[in-house]
Amino acid sequence: MLASAYCLIGRTQVADKLILKLRADQVSAYSFPGSTFGSSLRDQGIILNALVLMQREEAAFDLVEKIAQEMQNSEISTQTAAYCLYAIAGFAGKRKDQGGLYFTIDTGSGKNDVKSKKPVYRTKLSSANGAAIARVINKGGEKLFATVTTIGQPAMGDEETFYSNLKMTVDYTDQQNRPLEVSRMEQGKDLKARVTIDNPGLYGNYETMALTQVFPSGWEIINYRVTDQESFAAESSYEYRDIRDDRVHTFFTLAPGQSVTYEVLLNAAYTGRFYLPALQCGDMYDRRISGVIKGQWVQVVK
């Protein structure tokens, strides 16, 4: 970063001396982002940006290939993605010999020849029997990187309960903490959803945890922050809570061996049959730390 700063003010000789004995791939390996949201891949993005500013195109190109490959094969945080994409964009913008994109893509519904000076091309793939197939033939002089992205969510009732490096339970009780069977409830009944999360201590301190509770459309969330019932909920501390019409997001830190409990007050307001979605919790920047409790159908009767 210091070398980059000297380049920006035109002191390239000073920048050269600063990195004289440093290798572009000489970064410390670490995977716990902590409060800096750093990673070894993020640090390579910082190095790539310096090489671009110093006009070291050959070394920069080698690092671009390495970063692009790792970005495809790794789970990365938004911090890492931002640094890497910023540096790669700077590299692409500095190159004088860009030929642009020139390739043929066959998605099964016909071939399409693509010629573009833009560095990115996107298209939707049609799927047959759950599989999307595309054949790409590179006709240009530039190397292409192809990525397939799939987005979706499980159908209601098809979620699977699992825990990865955390433990999680959910209980539904009345206001006197007596267990409730939520599959069938009387209209107007108040209830509490109590979630307990444990850190078994295998991966240290969990600093960026998020708990997402989505509730059936027949239940109403009682926002005790605006009904003067804050003292009613005896729960663990959290860093931030976002209460919306049908869901509550709770953000917190979980130390090794620590257990936290969070409660949401609810009311079975409307009659009918509704779906209670899966409960989700995990570290926002480390997918090794996550858990899901599958959803279920619930009924509210008069």
Q: Provide the percentage of residues in the chain whose pLDDT is more than 90.
A: 57
Residue 127 lies in a domain: yes
Residue after which a domain boundary falls, among 51, 73, 94: 94
Residue of 7, 96, 98, 97 lying closest to 51 (CA atoms): 7
Residues 230 and 114 in one domain: no
Radius of gyration of the chain (CA): 26
**Whole-number mean pLDDT of the chain?**
88
Q: Is residue 104 part of a domain?
A: yes
Using the 3D structure, point to which of 152, 177, 195 is the last residue of a domain: 152
Q: Report yes or no on 116 lying in a domain.
A: yes
Per-residue pLDDT of 68-117, as tens digits, reads 888 887 778 888 999 999 999 999 887 665 667 899 998 777 788 999 88
The pairing of beta strand 240-243 with beta strand 247-254: antiparallel
Phi, psi of 192 (to 5 degrees): -125, 135
Task: Check which CATH number belongs to the domain holding 181 and give it.
Answer: 2.60.40.690
194 with 293, same domain: the answer is: yes
pLDDT digits (tens, 9 = 90+) for 151-191: 777 788 888 999 999 999 999 999 899 999 999 999 999 99
One domain for residues 107 and 219? no
- Same domain for 104 and 26: no
From the list 142, 139, 137, 87, the residue with the least C-alpha distance to 118 is: 142
Indicate if 231 and 102 belong to the same structural domain: no
DSSP of 124-140: ---EETTEE--EEEE-S
**Tally of structural domains, the chain:** 3
What is d(CA 161, CA 290) in angstroms, rounded to the nearest whole number? 11
Q: Are residues 83 and 126 in the same domain?
A: no
- Is position 12 within any domain? yes
* Domain that residue 71 falls in: 2-94
pLDDT in tens, 33-79: 667 788 899 999 999 999 999 999 888 999 998 998 888 877 788 88
The answer to whether residues 271 and 175 belong to one domain is: yes
Is residue 157, in this structure, part of any structural domain at all? no
The domain boundary, picked from 44, 76, 94, lies at 94
Let me know if residue 178 belongs to a domain. Answer: yes
In a domain, 121, yes or no: yes
**Do residues 110 and 136 share a domain?**
yes
Does residue 136 sit in the same domain as residue 169? no
143 and 262 assigned to the same domain: no
229 and 272 together in one domain: yes
164: which strand partners? Answer: 290
The share of the chain scoring above pLDDT 70, in percent, equals 92
Please indicate, yes or no, whether residues 179 and 278 belong to a single structural domain of this protein: yes
135-167: burial string, b at 16+ Cβ within 10 Å, e else: eeeeeeeeeeeeeeeeeeeeeeeebeeebebbe
> Is the residue at 120 inside a domain?
yes
